Amino acid sequence: MKELPYTPKAVIGRREMVTLPEIGMTVCAKVDTGARTSALHAEDIELYEEDGHLWVSFTTRSGGPVTPPHMIRMHLHDRRRVTSSNGQAEWRYVIRTPVQLGKLEMMVELTLTDRRNMRHPMLLGRRALRRLLVASGVTFLHGEP
């Protein structure tokens, strides 16, 4: 068996509770090694300019349509073409924000997309999982919901 070219920072499960301190919420995130980018549920997404900088405002929820909405405004980091798991390509706005997973804290780029029909409001993709190992048979290794 080939050895890893790095020492992993942590082992995580296929689902984990993560905190988004700049957004002020904790969500259940699905860990998806098949997805390159991470995604956050967002509704009512609007782009605007203020003081010569681009901002994005949106509403998000920590767990389904019955949870209270969080109205968020953040600097726009990027705009990317993303192909979803069903093969549909779309342009998405990207924000950059810290994410806390247990004792780990990392900067993550999140694409904003409507995930209201998905089980989890957030998806952690490969770029966010660098130097982490995923134990696909377990969940919530870094805290229960």
- CA-nearest of 82, 74, 81, 80 to 54 is 74
| Whole-number pLDDT of residue 6 | 85
As a whole number, mean pLDDT of residues 102-108 equals 94
121 pLDDT band, cuts 50/70/90, is very high
User: Is the pLDDT assigned to residue 75 strictly greater than 80?
Assistant: yes
| Whole-number pLDDT of residue 71 | 95
Rounded to whole angstroms, the Cα distance separating 13 from 135 reads 5
User: Is the pLDDT assigned to residue 63 strictly greater than 80?
Assistant: no
pTM above 0.85, yes or no: yes
Region 10-135: CATH code: 2.40.70.10
User: Is the pLDDT assigned to residue 28 strictly greater than 90?
Assistant: yes
* SS3 category, 128: helix
Rounded to whole angstroms, the Cα distance separating 101 from 22 reads 14
As a whole number, mean pLDDT of residues 27-33 equals 95
CA 121 from centroid of its chain's CA atoms: 8
Mean pLDDT rounded to a whole number for the chain:
93
